[in-house]
Structure 1
Amino acid sequence: MTDKIINITEGSIPRQVIRLAWPAVSAMFFRTALTIVNAVWVGRLGSNEMAAVISSMFVIWILFSLYDIVWTGAVAVVSRFYGARQFDTVSHAARQAIITGVAAAIPISILGCIFAGDMFAIMHTDKIVSDLGTSYLQILFGASVLMMLPELFASIFRATGDTKTPLMISTVVTFTNIILDPLLIFGIGPFPQIGVPGAALATVFSWVVGLSLFIVLIRGGRLTFKFNFSRFVRPDGRMIGELIKIGSPLAAAGVTFSVVYLFMNRITASFGTEAIAALGIGNRCESISYLTCFGFSLAVSTLVGQNLGAGKPERAAKSVWYALLFTGISTGVISLAFLMIPHVIASGFINDPKVIVIASDYLMILALSQTFMAIEIVMEGAFTGAGNTLPAMIVSLVGSFARFPLALYICHDLGVGVNGVWWSITLTTIVKGIALLIWFSRGKWKSKQIRVSASTDALQQG
């Protein structure tokens, strides 16, 4: 354990927001770079292979959403008690989060491998795309615990105010994946040519590297609270229950969002493989906005949690407004790029003229919703830090469920075609952002309590 306690409950608020956000934003970019690198290399195999990986992305969102139960709960509890300087409870919460995550990984991995093919049946993709995507997903689901644990450790570090350690590890993980991708996909040198499954294996190996680095750093005392891997820890039902209570609403919202996207992909697929490729390109371009906002959201979660723990709710609120200001500026710039040079952006991913036209339309429509997406994501971070995730769940569920029928109506009843899918995404994003902003402004989240109890023996195990 290092003796340096990170204090983000004092000092300049905008400076603290930026100090926490820039490493988090960078780490998110590196994490998404894994999927972009996979798509770029796999795209050289052909459109079917690229469509398989792109379609798999929606199922991977479900995987991430399921683990949000643990990640979100850990951030809320660890940041709150870290801000209150109750370090025994912080350590206990972190250890219980690991127990919960590993226990959840077993059924998630098994069921994911079994039902991977059914996900493609829902999306109505071509058989060759489904077969390729199933092999890709089964590898990722089978090894998902290797992804869950590094992300959980990253969440714990961020909750204490250390966003630089996760950035460092994300950088190493990304470059590991960049090196392994072409080797395993195309069989360069002594490596076998595996194709699409090779991209999945490269990702898994990079997860192993990330997990190993976190373990080494934690054992070396990188965390600012006492944490010992070697001691046996009994499951604490009260603490695990609180983690699940906080994490479940956003996890449910995330799973719903992802499942709805499977059906949105089904609508898109009815317009051809080119439309699916365009959807993937648009999503990867939008990830620039999303990841910037999500990085600030992670910073906000920590700032809100620690400041509420320190008894400073107004400082917590100001942190959120500054984060909205910064993300509003960044998404405004990105929106202009989507509007002014959509063809240039789309052509950077693929040479197919038809795909470029469809993707360009998608980018121009998305440009209208980027700032509202920033509001939505930052507000989710604020509610997470407060441990009050129910508002974000309600808004997300309503918005997600509305997307599918709205897309059907615009695409077919109004005769807009595949652009109706893009309009459905944009309109619901705008509504969700406005709704969460209103809910946050009411201020009830400031009085949200996180109640956990543990025996003295349990706390001393940390």
Structure 2
Amino acid sequence: MKNRQVCLTEGPILRSLVALAMPIMASSFLNTVYSITDMAWIGLLGSKAVAGVGVGGMYVWLSQGLSSLTRMGAQVNVAQSFGRGRRDEAREYACGALQLTLLFGMLFALVSVCFTDGLVALFHLGDVEAVRCAKSYMQITCGMVIFSYMTVVLTGIYTAQGDSKTPLVANIIGLIINMIMDPVLILGIGPFPRMEVVGAAIATVTAQFIVMLVMILGAWNTKSTENVLTGMKVWKLVEGRFFKGVFRIGVPTAIQGTVYCVISMVLTRMVAVFGPGAVAVQRVGGQVEAVSWNTADGFAAAINAFSAQNYGAGQMERVRKGYRISFRTIVIWGALITLAFILLPKSISEVFFHEGDVIGISVDYFRIVGISEAFMCVELMTVGALSGLGRTKLCSIISILLTVARVPLAVVFAATPLALNGIWWALTISSVVKGIVFVIAFNRVTIAKNN
């Protein structure tokens, strides 16, 4: 397998960023298609099934806080070590992160399977069918979450080295498998029984396993000595200072992601007051929003590796130029998503829902949250850039404070004639403010480092 790494510390900035970012954005888009494919097929089972999968999926999302700890800890440290020319150090950081990932994955799976009933009950779904779907989906996806964890961290390690093509190939294969298995297992096509929500969960977990396997094989088969994963002995314990480095960078990101998820769970409980249809809209709306969210997150991963390598090489002006190019690109993308959500909300909603009242709720959702899409994209991209400079703690503080503000905003707005739409407005306003604050923070941090 030829070397797929992109040099991030030399040459034209735009070319380097595009070469790294495009495969990541494509991979992120494929991850979005994963989710949308599931929701489209599950939507045929009714809004109760969608609501149940939404609640079960909340815990999958919550679990990502642990994987984001090791992903960010690995990605930033490996990239900065690459920038300094210390390949052996990068290998140790990667190995330590993978060991922690295996541990976290097993622990989360154990807790999820043992306490499924109580965790689902927290949402007060109020419908037996929705609760049954939530439990089934959660036990499978959370019970086998290790595949997702390994995929996330391996992607971070590949990206840190400037290789975003290998994860793209892996995700393409996983998507094809998921798209084939979804209708077959959910609806029961051919010799396969109709498994409904259970089938969706099995299809998702199987696809995640295949993606992980392809990335592992990619490291084993490469002849490049530059890849820190090649020949790695994961069972060999690394020195404590490498674990410490992973935690130093990764913990703020993990806390930020976990708080974000917890706040979303609180808001979901508020939404549940308006019925299973409202919960289903929130879940599906979040999945469709991932068209912008995952794409921006993919670009954030690219600017993260770019910033980290150039920061390690002492090239701060190159970091600032890379950020400006990324900013212009991501604003255009976010604006296009805004137009789609505001102009075509009914068409989008009818893909997933078939009940008139639920479609009405969905139309309102897309029109309101659509306003904030460009700001959300800028926020995610800027978090990636700041994290590459090692400023994960600053990102965590800003994000947590403004995300927590969603709860009181939602309480106040929901008590007005806006009702359910007031919760959607709380999401939009906070996203707009976060986008603006993060841009200001990046400019101040990079100016200070130059001085």
Within a 5 Å distance, the mapping from 1:238-249 to structure 2 comes to 238-249=241-252
Residue 90, structure 1, aligned to residue 90, structure 2? yes
Runs of 4 or more, structure 1, over 4 Å off, are: 1-5, 444-448
CA contact (8 A) 1:300 1:378 kept: yes
Matched AA of 2:435? G
- 2:169 aligns with 168
Q: Per-residue CA shift, 1:166-215, capped at 9, x if unaligned? A: 11100100111111112222222232332211111111111221122122
- 1:152 aligns with 153
SS across alignment from 1:8: coil
Matched AA of 1:144? V
Match of 1:358 among 353, 358, 361: 361
Deviation at 1:363, TM superposition (A): 1.1
Question: What is the CA–CA distance in structure 2 between the aligned matches of 1:52 and 1:4, rounded to whole Å?
Answer: 41
CA contact (8 A) 2:335 2:373 kept: yes
- 2:64 aligns with 64
Check 1:209–1:3 CA distance in 2 against 1; reply closer, same or farther (3 A cut).
closer
Question: What is the CA–CA distance in structure 2 between the aligned matches of 1:288 and 1:172, rounded to whole Å?
Answer: 19
Deviation at 1:161, TM superposition (A): 0.8
Matched AA of 2:262? V
- 1:186 aligns with 187
SS across alignment from 1:85: coil
Deviates more, 1:160-169 or 1:216-225: 216-225
Q: Per-residue CA shift, 1:320-376, capped at 9, x if unaligned? A: 121111010111111112222211221222222211211111111112211211121
- 2:81 aligns with 81
- 2:40 aligns with 40
Deviates more, 1:78-87 or 1:2-11: 2-11
Match of 1:427 among 426, 429, 432: 429
Deviation at 1:5, TM superposition (A): 5.8
Question: What is the CA–CA distance in structure 1 between the aligned matches of 2:198 and 2:178, rounded to whole Å?
Answer: 13
Question: What is the CA–CA distance in structure 2 between the aligned matches of 1:361 and 1:388, rounded to whole Å?
Answer: 37
Match of 1:328 among 327, 331, 339: 331
Within a 5 Å distance, the mapping from 1:2-401 to structure 2 comes to 6-126=6-126, 127-221=128-222, 224-226=226-228, 227-230=230-233, 232-401=235-404
CA contact (8 A) 1:84 1:310 kept: yes
Q: Per-residue CA shift, 1:63-114, capped at 9, x if unaligned? A: 1122100001011001111122211111111111111111222211111223
Check 1:434–1:231 CA distance in 2 against 1; reply closer, same or farther (3 A cut).
closer
Matched AA of 2:406? R
Question: What is the CA–CA distance in structure 2 between the aligned matches of 1:122 and 1:445, rounded to whole Å?
Answer: 46
Check 1:231–1:153 CA distance in 2 against 1; reply closer, same or farther (3 A cut).
closer
SS across alignment from 2:206: helix
Q: Per-residue CA shift, 1:435-455, capped at 9, x if unaligned? A: 21111111259759xxxxxxx
Check 1:281–1:205 CA distance in 2 against 1; reply closer, same or farther (3 A cut).
closer
Matched AA of 1:428? S
CA contact (8 A) 2:300 2:384 kept: yes
How many residues align structurally? 447
Deviation at 1:3, TM superposition (A): 6.3
Q: State the TM-score, normalizing by the size of structure 1.
A: 0.92
Question: What is the CA–CA distance in structure 2 between the aligned matches of 1:101 and 1:231, rounded to whole Å?
Answer: 11
Identity of aligned residues (%): 30
Matched AA of 1:136? Y
Deviates more, 1:264-273 or 1:347-356: 347-356
Check 1:186–1:345 CA distance in 2 against 1; reply closer, same or farther (3 A cut).
closer
Question: What is the CA–CA distance in structure 1 between the aligned matches of 2:4 and 2:411, rounded to whole Å?
Answer: 55
Check 1:37–1:3 CA distance in 2 against 1; reply closer, same or farther (3 A cut).
closer
SS across alignment from 1:16: helix
SS across alignment from 1:162: coil
| Structure 2, unaligned runs of 5 or more | none
Question: What is the CA–CA distance in structure 2 between the aligned matches of 1:306 and 1:399, rounded to whole Å?
Answer: 29
**Alignment root-mean-square deviation, CA:** 1.9
CA contact (8 A) 2:69 2:250 kept: yes
Question: What is the CA–CA distance in structure 2 between the aligned matches of 1:351 and 1:372, rounded to whole Å?
Answer: 31
Question: What is the CA–CA distance in structure 2 between the aligned matches of 1:235 and 1:165, rounded to whole Å?
Answer: 26
CA contact (8 A) 1:39 1:54 kept: no
CA contact (8 A) 1:386 1:445 kept: no
Question: What is the CA–CA distance in structure 2 between the aligned matches of 1:333 and 1:234, rounded to whole Å?
Answer: 47
Question: What is the CA–CA distance in structure 2 between the aligned matches of 1:436 and 1:240, rounded to whole Å?
Answer: 28
Question: What is the CA–CA distance in structure 2 between the aligned matches of 1:231 and 1:103, rounded to whole Å?
Answer: 12
SS across alignment from 1:351: coil
- 1:455 aligns with none
| Structure 1, unaligned runs of 5 or more | 449-462
Q: Per-residue CA shift, 1:36-75, capped at 9, x if unaligned? A: 1111111212221111112333222111122100001011
Deviation at 1:222, TM superposition (A): 6.0
Residue 439, structure 1, aligned to residue 447, structure 2? no
SS across alignment from 1:368: helix
Matched AA of 1:416? L
Deviation at 1:426, TM superposition (A): 0.5
